[in-house]
Amino acid sequence: MIRVALIDDHELVRTGFRMILAQQAGIEIVGEAADGERGLALIRASEPDVAIVDVHMPQLSGIELTDRVRKHKLNTRVIVLTMASEAPFPKRLIEAGASGYLTKGCAADELVRAVRMVAEGKRYLEPEIAAALALDSIDGHEGSPFDALSRRELDVALMLVRGEPMQSIASRLSLSAKTVATYKYRLYEKLGVDNPVALANLARRHGLQPDPA
């Protein structure tokens, strides 16, 4: 039996995925969560084989959650979801420990296939995303500017994009405010931005921030 957790702040997405997966032989939904912090707690408590995780969530993003699953050496394998209109960002997700990458517009059979493959220890990239990555590689495209950030710089960047204050970031990452300020300076320099609005706009263009409603 493949035990699956659904972690997404959109109830309709969770409901749709639950309806698809619950009727499949050998797949069981063990829990759901509507934000990253609760999602991480759910993974720790229920130890699912696979967690399907939205890349954009309150509290913790899908990238941050995936990274914490890897750091804490949890056995759950993560499939990250993003909107079809967003730029693919699989390189960082794979570095963070993601085993799969899907868009929310994927077909039902593809979702099931991804869950089964990831549960077997394999990786799964939606074909369109894999093709886009291959073409980028052939064309010599440099990819996302966020690839230049260290993992800690990316953590800080994601929190800044969500509007979290510096002191809150320092507390959550167990760092001093001065160290967080240093990371902020470095990531701004690497990304070529000098204010939070420019950072948010850049993050949006590269799939790290959802478009405003």
Please report, for the chain, the start and end positions of each structural domain, with discontinuous segments joined by +.
Answer: 2-138, 145-205
138-160 pLDDT, tens digit per residue, is 444 456 788 788 878 888 888 89
For residue 53, CA distances in Å to 13, 61, 100, 172 come to 11, 9, 10, 21
Give this prediction's pTM: 0.74
22-77 pLDDT, tens digit per residue, is 999 999 999 999 998 999 999 999 999 999 998 888 778 888 898 889 888 999 99
145-205: same fold as 2-138? Answer: no
Which of the residue ranges 35-39, 88-92, 161-165, 200-204 would you say has the lowest mean pLDDT? 88-92
Give me the pLDDT at residue 19, please.
Answer: 94
Question: Any idea which fold 145-205 has?
Answer: Arc Repressor Mutant, subunit A (1.10.10)
- Cα–Cα distance between 12 and 17 in angstroms, integer? 9
- Cα–Cα distance between 178 and 123 in angstroms, integer? 39
Continuous H helices in the chain: 11-22, 36-46, 62-71, 90-96, 108-119, 127-139, 151-161, 166-173, 177-191, 196-205
Give me the pLDDT at residue 139, please.
Answer: 46
Give me the pLDDT at residue 211, please.
Answer: 59
Q: Indicate the average pLDDT of the chain.
A: 84
Q: In degrees rounded to 5, what are phi and psi of residue 191?
A: -90, -10
What top-level class would CATH report for the domain 2-138? alpha beta
Give percent of the chain above pLDDT 70: 84
